[in-house]
Amino acid sequence: HLLSELIRRRTGLTAGRYFARHLAGPLGLDAYIGLPAGTDAHLATMLESKAEALMDGADPGTELDMLRALGEPGSLTHRAMIGSMRLYDALDPSVEDPSYGGLAGAGSLSRLFAALVGEVDGIRLIGPDRTDELARPYSRGTCEVVLLPSTWGLGFMLPDSPVFPASAGLGPRAFGFDGANGTFVFADPDHELAFAYVQNAGSRTIGRMNDRAHRLVAAVYRSLGGSARGA
């Protein structure tokens, strides 16, 4: 909501309306930050993930430092990830929640990321120089919130980390996100490749890449067969 206010003061539009007008609309995306009234969108029934169970008070156990910290109300991990959030009721899809409430299918997510590394029906969201910046490491080390090794570019995860691992075959300049519910999305400028995987069952693993997404990403890279282009 803080970021949305910065966008509103600069453009007059909230984050959801800006996204709809300048990204989703031109690219023909079935993707929303706040579902408009009357929108004919198919929303999957989401089953609770391990991450959401933890947010709702489940025992975090002792498997990972992050999970232990989630159970400590005074920790930075707890305050950043759980302290102001509870999922007692189903989320209202009409509410603009840029942090947690984005809605999209895999096809639209991959199309959005494709427009970060090349043209999609004549539209490219950023130039090659900015794409290079996204793919350049800006920080490495143990994240003080999730307590896991992390590599970040400008707002995107980069290889190598347990949740965004090079072992899946990711190109060295790939950038994207691994979501706590098992969603995995990335773009690879060197292969002109964009990939998105979403699920409605929720990931049962925390602290590493979802096994199914790992296998799919590895298969996609194998299918390229050394080609310089992907789709």
Question: What pLDDT is recorded for position 119?
Answer: 94
Cis omega (within 30 of 0) for bond into 211:
no
Burial of 172 (0-12, 13-18, 19+ CB in 10 A): exposed
> Can you give the pTM of this predicted structure?
0.85
Q: What is the CATH number of the domain that holds 198?
A: 3.40.710.10
Residues 33 and 72 in one domain: no
Residues 2 and 111 in one domain: no
How far apart CA 118 and CA 98 sit, in angstroms, is: 25
pLDDT one-digit tens code per residue, 114-173: 999 999 999 999 999 999 999 999 999 999 988 889 999 988 999 988 889 888 889 999
Q: Does residue 97 form part of some domain?
A: no
Question: What pLDDT is recorded for position 55?
Answer: 64
> Which ranges of the chain have pLDDT less than 50?
227-231
Question: What pLDDT is recorded for position 50?
Answer: 65
Question: What pLDDT is recorded for position 89?
Answer: 53
Distance of CA 156 to the CA centre of its chain: 8
Burial of 4 (0-12, 13-18, 19+ CB in 10 A): buried
Residues 81 and 173 in one domain: yes
Residues 8 and 71 in one domain: no
Q: Which of 27, 43, 59 is the last residue of a domain?
A: 43
Residues 72 and 123 in one domain: yes
Strand-pair category, 175-178 with 149-152: unpaired
Question: What pLDDT is recorded for position 229?
Answer: 38
Q: Does residue 27 form part of some domain?
A: yes
How far apart CA 14 and CA 50 sit, in angstroms, is: 31
Q: No. of H helices and E strands in the chain? A: 9, 7
Question: What pLDDT is recorded for position 10?
Answer: 96
Q: Does residue 69 form part of some domain?
A: yes
Question: What pLDDT is recorded for position 96?
Answer: 87
Q: Does residue 180 form part of some domain?
A: yes
Residues 181 and 125 in one domain: yes
Q: Which domain holds residue 135?
A: 46-92+105-231
Question: What pLDDT is recorded for position 230?
Answer: 36
Q: Among 208, 175, 211, 181, which residue's Cα sits nearest to residue 194?
A: 175
Residues 123 and 64 in one domain: yes
Residues 4 and 24 in one domain: yes
Q: Does residue 8 form part of some domain?
A: yes
Residues 30 and 56 in one domain: no
Q: Which of 9, 28, 43 is the last residue of a domain?
A: 43
Residue located via tokens 């690879």: 188
Q: Does residue 190 form part of some domain?
A: yes
Considering its fold, how many domains does the chain have in total?
2
Residues 117 and 36 in one domain: no
Q: Does residue 98 form part of some domain?
A: no
Residues 38 and 68 in one domain: no
Q: Does residue 144 form part of some domain?
A: yes
Residues 152 and 180 in one domain: yes
